[in-house]
Structure 1
C-alpha cells in the first residue's frame, strides 16, 4: 500500500492541535536515519486504517518526492470520537528484523468433521499472533487450516505451517491454543410447571 506524507515544520502541543483542527494528523517516522516529523491527511489515513493490510504489511511512504518502506508502529485515537490523534511509522529495509502482530485467517472451518459431521462449532481462541521476521518478508496474515479438526481437538501454535524465517513470540506461554473444536450445544427443554388448582368444596344444601 502507498500513502503520501508531508514534512511537519512546527512541533508542540499547540501546533499539533492546529493540525488536527485543519484535518491533518501529526506523526513521526523513525529508524534507519534521523527521525522525521510528518503530517498526513486525516480522512485518507482514517480510510486506510480500515484495511487490514495497512496494519500488518510493508507500506510505501512518499515524503518530499522520495519513497521509503515503513511499517505502522503506533496509533493513538481520540477517547470517544473516530479521530486519529497521532501515528508512528518505522523505516525498514532488507536487513531489518521486526516484531509485528499479524492477523489469523481461518479456512476450511465448514468442512471440518466437527462442524460438517457433528454440527459443532469452532472457538477462535486467538485472532492474531506476534511474530518476528525480516521486514521485507512480513506476511499480511497467517493461515490456520481447520479442515481436519474433529470435536474435542485443538490447534496450537506449533501446528501452524510457517516459513522457516518466521518465529512466533508467545511471551512465555508454551505452545498456546489457537482454535478449539467444540461439540454442539444441547438445549435442555424444561416443561412448564403448572400450579395445582384446589378443588372447590361442595355447597351445603
Structure 2
C-alpha cells in the first residue's frame, strides 16, 4: 500500500490544531539512519486507509517530497468522540533489520469442525492478532488459522499457530503459550436440562382440595 505525506514545518499544539481544522492530520516518521521528520497527511485519505487491515500490518510506501520511504504504522491517536485522527506515527523500515509487528489472524473452517457441526459448541476467539519478528520481506499481511479439526473441550494455543517462513513468535508476559481459540460448550443443552428438571418436579402450592 502507498500513501502521500507532506513535510510539516510548523510544530506545537496551536499549529497542530490549525492543521486539523484545515483537513490534515499531523504525524511523524522516525527510525533508520535519518532524523525524525514531522509530516502531515490528508485526513480523509488517512481515515479511509486506517479502515483497511493491511494498512496496520504491512510495509507501506510513503511518498514525501518526491521520495518514497518504506515505513510501518506504529501508533495512532484518535479523538475521544469525534471521527478524527489527532496524531499518527510511522517507523522507517530497513531491509536488513528485523521488524516486531502485530499480525492479524484470519480464522477459517470453524463451521466445519466437529466442535461446531456435531456438538454445537461456540468457538471463542481469545486473540485476534499476534506479535511476530521477521525481515520486512517476510512480513505476512495476515496469518490464516484452520479451525476445521477443533473438537469439543479442545483449545488452540499460541504455539499451535502456523507461522509463515521467516517469521517467529514474540511472546510477552508470563504466559508463554496462551489460549488463542477456546471451545465453549453449548449453553442450550444446560438450559434444556434445567427445563426438564423443572417440569418433572411437582408444582408448588398445589395440593389436594379438601
User: What is the match of residue 73 of structure 1?
Assistant: 74
Question: How many residues get paired?
Answer: 200
* In 2, Cα distance between equivalents of 1:3 and 1:163: 27
- In the alignment, is residue 62 of structure 1 matched against residue 63 of structure 2? yes
After superposition, the CA RMSD in angstroms is 1.9
Structure 2 unmatched runs, 5+: none
Equivalence map 1:133-144=2 (5 Å) = 133-144=134-145
* CA shift for structure 1 position 164: 4.4
Equivalence map 1:84-99=2 (5 Å) = 84-99=85-100
Q: Is the 8 A contact 1:170 1:176 kept in 2?
A: no
Equivalence map 1:164-175=2 (5 Å) = 164-171=165-172, 172-175=174-177
Q: Which moved more, 1:134-143 or 1:12-21?
A: 134-143
* CA shift for structure 1 position 59: 0.7
* In 2, Cα distance between equivalents of 1:53 and 1:181: 28
User: What is the match of residue 4 of structure 1?
Assistant: 4
Q: Please identify runs of 4+ aligned residues in structure 1 that moved more than 6 A.
A: none
Q: Larger C-alpha radius of gyration, 1 or 2?
A: 1
Equivalence map 1:27-38=2 (5 Å) = 27-32=27-32, 33-38=34-39
User: What is the match of residue 82 of structure 1?
Assistant: 83
Equivalence map 1:40-189=2 (5 Å) = 40-171=41-172, 172-185=174-187, 186=189, 187=191, 188-189=194-195
TM-score normalised to the size of structure 2? 0.88
